[in-house]
Amino acid sequence: MDITPVSFSTPLSFSRLLGGLALLLALAQPAMAVNIVYDGSCANAPDRLAVANAVARATTWSNDAYNLVNNNEQALRNNGPSPYLTWFGTFEQGRYQRVRSVLDGVRFKLSSNSTLTAYCRVNPAVPCNNPGYVAATNARVRGDFDVWFCNAFFALPANVGFDTQAGSVLHEMTHSIGNTEDIPGGYGPANAANLATNTPGRAVDNADNYEFFVEQLYD
């Protein structure tokens, strides 16, 4: 296991209040995901299926999100209503490059030949020692990596709304490859949207902002 810090996801509820997608989304074909190896804690077949489906969806979602950002730079400069504006704030070149780089790294890692070792329902052991934790991974990891899918992960919706299983995988991947953070005061859709409005420089470093950006594209 990498000795870098473990990063966690926690669920928060939110009533959606943001508009629809105003930009062209060039949908990608489903990509081949990483190789998933299941620890003995994932003996339950439905748990393995939930993890596999979440990883596969996160792979497709990250490709689509990257294509949207990469292919619409000029439109994003106009700061019209869009998921990008909602979750990353007004356009600024450095922040735009940061968002594009994180999404590019996530899609590359999820489409690579790396091995994801999955651990299931390992509460209350570290790193799932808090009942509110959804998932955890080691930050700043190259190559093979571990993800802990805590009890709360399996109670989330698979792919509809905010705080989904697929979105949680993408959240963890932004930690693993994009060096994002769980910024205090930035958890949950309302707080993440507030970061984008008031401190967009922090929004582009907050894992939840990436998760909700991608989840809104598919909601």
How does residue 15 score in pLDDT terms, banded at 50, 70 and 90? very low
pLDDT in tens, 87-129: 999 999 999 999 999 999 999 999 998 999 999 999 888 889 8
Structure tokens at 188: 């949950």
The type of residue at 184 is: P
Give pLDDT, residue 219: 76
Structure tokens at 79: 């700061």
Q: What is the C-alpha to C-alpha distance for residues 219 and 150, in angstroms, rounded to an integer?
A: 24
- Contact (CB, 8 A) for 150 and 16: no
Cis peptide before 127 (omega within 30 of 0): yes
Give pLDDT, residue 17: 26
How does residue 139 score in pLDDT terms, banded at 50, 70 and 90? confident
Give pLDDT, residue 50: 98
C-alpha separations of 26 from 149, 166, 209 in Å: 30, 19, 21
Average pLDDT over residues 158-179: 95
- Contact (CB, 8 A) for 202 and 195: yes
Does the CA dihedral 166-128-174-48 come out positive or negative? negative
Structure tokens at 144: 């093979």
- Contact (CB, 8 A) for 137 and 58: no
For residue 28, what is the DSSP state? P
Give pLDDT, residue 32: 54
Average pLDDT, the chain: 86
